[in-house]
Structure 1
Amino acid sequence: MEMENQTSISEFLLLGFSSWPGQQGLLFALFLCLYLTGLFGNLLILLAIGSNNHLHTPMYFFLANLSLVDLCLPSATVPKMLLNIQTKSQSISYPGCLAQMYFCMMFANMDNFLLTVMAYDRYVAICHPLHYTTIMTPRLCTSLVALSWLIATLNPLLHTLLMAQLHFCSKNIIHHFFCDINSLLPLSCSDTSLNQLMVLFVVGLIFVVPSVCILASYGRIVSAVMKINSIQGKLKAFSTCGSHLALVILFYGAIAGIYMSPSSNHSNEKDSAASVIFMVVAPVLNPFIYSLRNSELKGTFIKTLGQALKNKDTVMKGSYWKDNMKSKDEEIGEVKEISSENEESLQKEDMPTDIEFLGVINRLSKDSSQHPESKDAVENGSPNSKAIHLELLTARRRGAPALRGPTIEL
């Protein structure tokens, strides 16, 4: 049976923020700024990871996928909402509503899976640093992401097909800013018991299980960090993982408030605010939380920006042809400069990253009774100490070349 024969209405009305008629201009500016900020931040992370071969590791492979999802999740709702505010029209077609519901569910599910995988990756890096490369292999990382995309694609497809079988007789007003499945089901004049059962089952399976896995991973991380004797090491670990955990709590708290709370606690304003948190705010915060405290990403950003500004100045000054007609002395000078830069990069390569520092400190704290220099390093909490460098070089020569993990082709 065709879609037109299953429903007597051709469009829905999205009245999510229409109850604030005097604030439409402010809402438009707010959501436009949030959307563009998230768009720029996530694109910058993708470009940085793709342009730097040193960042082709499991942690950044997962972060690149998360940035891609955080580009798409707000794009499924915010542009349509901005268009409706600008044109003062709240309508969305029936096929467009089903398509929006599908993509919102797919990217929300993928965000959920990636947060779980990244929590596990962080647990392995901190609690089992010397076995990191043997556990987080490129094959396992690719399989985890591929399986996540597969489930995230098939699950909303099931809900969309079930929704397409329902009849919508006369009610077409959705008190939300996007086509949410919980807002669509009450409008149907058909039996929706199967749809509601599937929503409860899927929410319990796809969101509760990953959230428990994330909490378990961070619980093991906290347990490992508490065994570190260094106060500095503990503070560094908690400052690194605390912001990630806060974002996870914000994401899952908003979802639980919408899909797992009693219907008596629901209201249009509360549901819209909670949806904004995990659909718009969380994707905007992700690039800042995962990159601002990451020295490797910040270094790549600065290097890329500096190179772009240098190229721009060269073109603006009209010295492009002069720079390409260098004398032999200038070429020799450039070779020496490149050699010195390579030496500096090699020295920087020996410096431990945040994840390496936490993992090595965790290991050294266990062996402090056997190695006096390790004990001093743990008590002082210095990332530049001889013991930590010795541990890093030893681990890399054993077959864990850089505890940061194996290279993954992006």
Structure 2
Amino acid sequence: MLQTEKHYVQWQDNETSRNSRWLSESNQPPPARIVIVDDQTTADQAYRFACEGTSMLWRGDFHNARQLLQAMTRRIERTEQRKASKAAKSGKASTDATAIPNLFHLQRQAQGQRSRILSRVLLELDAGYSSRLRRAPDFSAACTAAFGELDEHCLISFRDLQGALGAAQWREKGVPISSLDLSIFPHYGVFAPTRHEYVQLMLDAPLPDTHDLAFDIGTGTGLLAIILAQRGVQQVVAIDLNPRALACAADNIQRLELTNVQLQQADLFPTEQPLANLIVCNPPWLPAKPSSPLEYAVYDANSAMLRGFLQGVSKHLAAQGEVWLILSDLAEHLQLRSREELLSWFSEAGLMVKYRLDTQPKHGRSQDATDPLFAARSAEITSLWCLTLRQQTE
């Protein structure tokens, strides 16, 4: 869906004043300065323009624009490496545990700066997302699926366009979930389950004795709801506030011809439902502020969703029911949240730990010793916390 609030940008094109819709799903502000660039523009020139805050409207070959972005990315990486090397020589870099939170915030700042620089290469598209660039593919279907219908001329960053094209490929090919022998098909703006170590935890956890009704809070692609439905839960209610997520979950559920999953749009908990025997939730794992809606599945500012879920879950849980909370301890290794805080939130919510299942990460970054956050990533554990109401065992 396109942004509900429309923004427009003006620029000079051969001494002619132009005005166009600004389209940015990554929350980049409308460009203040725009210059026209083409195949003659070097990567050094483009990088200098971008670092100065000047956006570049591309008028060359489509594939050359992609190569330009790759060249700019290499320059950013070299700059980051020089800064890291200089910090190491000056003694400012440290692998001490007290430096880890600062490393995390510095890395996020660097990622934000990288995104701003690379987002300064712009394309202009006609209504229906058609492009006049040489060798430009037909990406109208991918953009319509990502951003919604467009009936006017627009400017968009090449990076956002690449995001739409990449999402279209995910949606077409799917993400294989080997332990389930199926694929999940993410939509644009819905977090793709490329890390799915927790799936085996969901398969290993014993279902409650009574499991006629379960809630999946923040369903996203619908993966957890699908697991519960396939494990024999009679009715699963999958809840999400994001319309994109609900459309994505509906697509995946329909592909598998599941009839025991109901979708509902709500903020955390469903409305007008009886108490559930099982409530599952896989919230964002890191308590940091998202920089755009595309990061909502990763970052949870001040652990707001996690705490809201814990504080409200007892009102929707049957007396003998269970809560399955899927959570990584990466935030603890990054010193963004302590284990003591998490356990205190359980207690304050009237919950106690029945058992916990753990698994180690298998993704590439957990094995990359050159990653500044390697110490935290390599020690990460993802857990399924099985929680029950405290009075159940007292």
* Both proteins in one fold, TM over 0.5: no
Q: What TM-score do the two structures reach when normalised by structure 1?
A: 0.25
Higher strand share: 2
Q: What TM-score do the two structures reach when normalised by structure 2?
A: 0.25
Higher helix share: 1
Bigger Rg, which one:
1
Higher RCO (CA-CA < 8 Å; seq separation 6+)? 1
